[in-house]
Amino acid sequence: MCRGRSESPPLREVSGGRSAEVDILILCSTFISIRPPAWDRDRSAVKCDYCGVDEAFPFRCPYCNRYYCGDHRLPENHACVGYALALPPRQYTTTSESHTTYAMGWTTASVSKREFISFLVGAALVWFVGASMLLGLLAFSSYALIINSALFVLAFLGHEYAHKLAAARNGLWAEFRLNSFGVVLTGLSVILPIKFVAPGAVVLGGYGDRRTLGLVGAWGPAVNLAISTALLPIILLLGAWVLLPSYYINSFIATFNLIPLAILDGKKVYDWSPAVWVSMFVYSLAHVALAYLFL
């Protein structure tokens, strides 16, 4: 047997005159992330993936791996899906702002200038509301009107400052601040038959447990009950019936604030000690009942 020289079989031609080797290359390119360029018929140019224009020297985008013409080579010009990668890091500019530093501790019971003005405005509103209530009583003289209006202001200031003092003694920051809505309603109460006296409230800062918040809430009504208790023997023993409106107002303020609602002092007192709340609430109701009896 003679052994002749073996020759490799010729490559099979496919439709269009394309060899099998080209088919293999194109098939492999479909399994990688880089998209093959769109060659035209004469294989001398690449079509831009954005506008379809023939480009002899295409630009390949490093962010989306596609080919583009000179007009659309930049990421922002061809709606690149990786445009965010081409952007520089965002620069943030911070501006310094003034701030107020408050000292913590029981010594913060002192009144600042801002707080003094708030107390002054609130006291003036309470004075006019009290005077408008007493003007309806024909038996009241101007002297009695001044005395009772002053006691109304004392009831308001004593109640709010008691909250502030109790908070300061328990290590909390406290400040009386006016409330715009409350100021408007209190001002309207001067001319309206329904009276609403709440121009502001004491704002607390710091951490307080139930006992601390309960004590702070109890001090306000306790001051009003103390004033009512002091006025009662003066009215009964000395016959100073002209002070009866002040006795009623202090008793009513204490009773109203001891209602166990979330926005009132009674809720804080009740959460701390239901026994203390019951004793204070019953005592205030007794004073209100006596005031109605005398009136």
- Nearest-angstrom CA–CA distance, 117 and 223: 22
- Nearest-angstrom CA–CA distance, 176 and 116: 9
pLDDT score of 25: 44
DSSP states of 261-280 as a string? -TTSHHHHHHHH-HHHHHHH
Contact 202, 217 (CB under 8 A): no
Contact 182, 199 (CB under 8 A): yes
CATH C-level class of 15-83: few secondary structures
Nearest in space to 79 (alpha carbons), one of 88, 91, 90, 66:
66
Q: How many other CB atoms sit within 10 Å of the CB of residue 119?
A: 21
Per-residue pLDDT tens over the stretch 8-46: 444 444 444 445 554 554 444 444 444 545 444 445 678
Residue position matching structure tokens 């139930």: 210
Comparing 221 with 295, which gets the higher pLDDT?
221
Q: How many other CB atoms sit within 10 Å of the CB of residue 234?
A: 12
Nearest in space to 153 (alpha carbons), one of 125, 186, 174, 192:
125
- Nearest-angstrom CA–CA distance, 232 and 244: 8
- What's the whole-number mean pLDDT along residues 84-102? 64
Domain with CATH 4.10.1110 in the chain: 15-83
At residue 57's C-alpha, the angle toward residues 52 and 59, to 5°, is 70
Output Rg (C-alpha) for the chain, integer angstroms.
43
Mean pLDDT, the chain, rounded, equals: 79
What Cα–Cα distance (Å) separates residue 52 from each residue in 26, 55, 58, 85, 254? 20, 9, 12, 25, 84
Percentage of the residues of the chain whose pLDDT score is greater than 70: 74
The SS3 of residue 207 is coil
Burial group, residue 183, by CB count within 10 angstroms (0-12, 13-18, 19+) = middle
The pTM assigned to this predicted structure is: 0.61
Range scoring the smallest mean pLDDT among 47-51, 76-80, 135-139, 145-149: 135-139
Most confident of 109-123, 203-217, 219-233: 219-233
- Which residue type occupies 38? A
Which residues is 55 bridged to in the sheet? Answer: 46
Residues with Cβ within 8 Å of residue 290, at least 6 apart in sequence: 232, 251
Comparing 272 with 133, which gets the higher pLDDT?
272
Residue 220, pLDDT above cutoff 70? yes
